[in-house]
Chains A and B, each alone.
Chain A
Amino acid sequence: MSEVIVITSGKGGVGKTTTTANLGVGLAIRGKKVVLVDTDTGLRNLDLLLGLENRIMYDLVDVTEGRVPYKKALVRHKKYENLMLLPTSQVKDKNAVNPEQLVHLCEELRKEFDYILIDCPAGIEQGFKTAIAGADCAIVVTMPEISAVRDADKIIGELNRADKNSIKLIVNRIRPQMVEKGDMLDMDDINDILSIDCIGQVPDDEKVVTSTNRGEPVISMEDSLAGKAYRNIVGRICGEEIPFMDFPKDSFFQRLKRAFGL
């Protein structure tokens, strides 16, 4: 019934945390009961993106070490009743939580929630191994850039090695103009190398930055392209067939402007 999904990437800065926050909000808007677990101990960010930093009382390490039951550490989102955050500690490091503890926690959370989204730290070390331990499936986030794709490839290999074979791909921060000019890897190149099922193509959008700073994920913005892409991904996670959207190309006027260097 309930599903544990780990959101991972290998490389840092490709948008794991942003994706986790947006998918969490999107699923909550659809009425699902969702908990977001931040496993990036020592470098926590997920609470910031959701604007919940000031409400944190306990954290993941308190829970895994048995100081408090997990329910006490959950932070309810101020706007979306169905969305909970389990933040991690900012003072401890990755060794504070081990894979068995997280597997156990996920089993507990399954009883309560429809979706458990785990925000994985960058890298392939202990933190990664802990984060994926309890997951049923994984979403690999990458960017149209060779280093991000290379790391995604490595991560998929590592996931396979850990017997996690349900893996989906989200390509984040696509810049359609650059792809069109051939300056950026296009989807064919990426699919060719990674050859896993792609469930999302998210364009680069300035609104992501402004929404992050405000603690309000971009998925709730009706007029944002990235928001729309995330809403589509949420639909696909829920099993709907949604075609990938076409990114608007530059209008003739914009191209003319660029040609004159304006």
Chain B
Amino acid sequence: MSDEIVKIKGTKSGLQLSFERGADFESIEQDLREKLESGSSFFTRGTVIHVAPDALKKGDLDRLKRLFSKFGVLFRTTDPLTASSPVHEPSHEEGRAEEDAQQMVIVNRTLRGGQEVRTKSSVLVCGNVNPGAQIIAGGSIDIRGTCRGMVHAGAYGDSRAFVVADRLMPMQIRIANLIARSPDQAEEMEKAERAERASIKDGQIVIEPIER
């Protein structure tokens, strides 16, 4: 792709679109359609898109609105100045959900059987997560200890969430809408010697060792 016809900038309240000066509407629409159809994580359902009202003609704005709504993306026409100040790095903002995921709940004890942490944000556990305990987080989960319970990261759909633990040996790991369970034979699950990280890669939950 040549230099972008459509520029996308993440802001606190969503994505801000701006268009190359002089670009014709046909190529703008074409470019956006390709981006949407590629299933890029930019445009997950519920994302709010802002466009300056004077960037395009009224009729063209309506056509864009229809295009976005087909993909479940909310389309707003707002002035970039009145919209909340844009962040500098081109981040993968997802509006509200992302904001929550960047908050952190800190659990400063061992979670024992039957105890549960449920939050829209991310979770840091300084202690173990014992069998029978569960953590359900909108964001990612970091366990500074042994994880033997059930952990669900990205519970509200964030498939970029991950789970990290010093010793990762949980009953189940769930990330977004995927589930991985521990092997049926206990012997197959050797004691993890180093910190590991579970995340989604190519539509599967994969676990890999990490340094920390």
Contact = CB atoms under 8 A, between A and B. Distances in A.
A150 B131 contact: yes
Interface residues of B, number: 12
Interface in B78-116: 109-110, 112-115
B157 interface: no
A153 B132 contact: yes
B128 A154 contact: no
Interface of B is mostly: loop
Interface string A184-224: 00000000110100000000000000000000000000000
Contact of A154 (B109, B132, B146, B148): B132
Interface in B175-202: none
Contacts of A158: 114
A150 B109 CA distance: 17
Interface residues of A, number: 11
A192 B192 CA distance: 14
B109 to A, nearest CB: 8
Contacts of A153: 112-113, 130-132
A60 interface: no
B132 A150 contact: yes
Contacts of A154: 112-114, 132
B91 to A, nearest CB: 39
B113 A157 contact: yes
Interface in A153-196: 153-154, 156-158, 160, 192-193, 195
A5 to B, nearest CB: 21
A160 B109 CA distance: 11
Interface of A: 150-151, 153-154, 156-158, 160, 192-193, 195
Q: Which 8 A-B pairs have the closest CB atoms?
A: A157-B112, A154-B113, A153-B113, A154-B114, A153-B112, A153-B130, A157-B115, A150-B113
27 contacts: A150-B113, A150-B131, A150-B132, A151-B113, A153-B112, A153-B113, A153-B130, A153-B131, A153-B132, A154-B112, A154-B113, A154-B114, A154-B132, A156-B112, A157-B112, A157-B113, A157-B114, A157-B115, A158-B114, A160-B109, A160-B112, A192-B146, A193-B128, A193-B130, A193-B131, A195-B110, A195-B128
